[in-house]
Structure 1
Amino acid sequence: MSDILQISTEKFDARFPNVNQTKRCWQNYFDYTKCVAAKGEDYAPCKQFLKAYTTLCPNEWIERWDAQKDDGTLPIDTSS
């Protein structure tokens, strides 16, 4: 039972005040992929980006971006 995921809303980010959160969603997804590429999935600070984008982004977007990343068609360079 220690593997229970605690879900909470992402905290305020001063870079995105009172605006549509789409950019914040994308930025956290991008930051997570770059962090994992550079440091690996077990690097604790990467988990903050993971939590942020899984909270902010619709699941359909994440699935599409993951598929594009696997296919090499994601419009960003995710290598470190």
Structure 2
Amino acid sequence: MEEEIELKTAPADFRFPTTNQTRHCFTRYIEFHRSSCRCTTAKGEESNDCERFAKYYRALCPGEWVEKWNEQRESGTFPGPL
């Protein structure tokens, strides 16, 4: 018997009322990476908070952007506050 998959996306955020979700995506990416240090050290990799933050930015952001931002973080040229 096949397992049912429940699909969800990031919840609506009053800070981003328009249909253009570019800023929402960028903010969720930053929120995840700001909290990832705390999630990893304080709660471990399997924390529900960490999973929730990861799902939000992954649901909103195109994969190409995430790859580019990851490369920028590694090289120290990421344009956002982390």
1:25 Cα shift? 0.2
TM-score of the aligned structures, taking structure 2 as reference length: 0.75
Map 1:1-80 onto structure 2 (within 5 A).
Answer: 6-40=6-40, 41-78=45-82
Partner deviation per Cα, 1:51-78 (whole Å, 9 max, x = no partner):
1110000000000001111111112343
Partner deviation per Cα, 1:17-76 (whole Å, 9 max, x = no partner):
134100100000000000012331443212222111100000000000011111111123
| Structure 1 unmatched runs, 5+ | none
TM-score of the aligned structures, taking structure 1 as reference length: 0.76
1:13 partner SS: coil
The range that moved more, 42-51 or 15-24, is: 42-51
Letter in 1 for 2:25: C
When the two chains are superposed, the root-mean-square deviation of aligned CA atoms in Å is 2.1
CA distance in 1, matches of 2:15, 2:70: 25
Letter in 1 for 2:38: A
How many residues were matched structurally? 75
Which aligned segments of 4 or more residues in structure 1 are displaced greater than 2 angstroms? 5-11, 41-44
Letter in 2 for 1:64: K
Is the radius of gyration larger for structure 1 or structure 2?
2
Q: Which structure dedicates a bigger proportion of its chain to helix?
A: 2
- State the identity %: 35
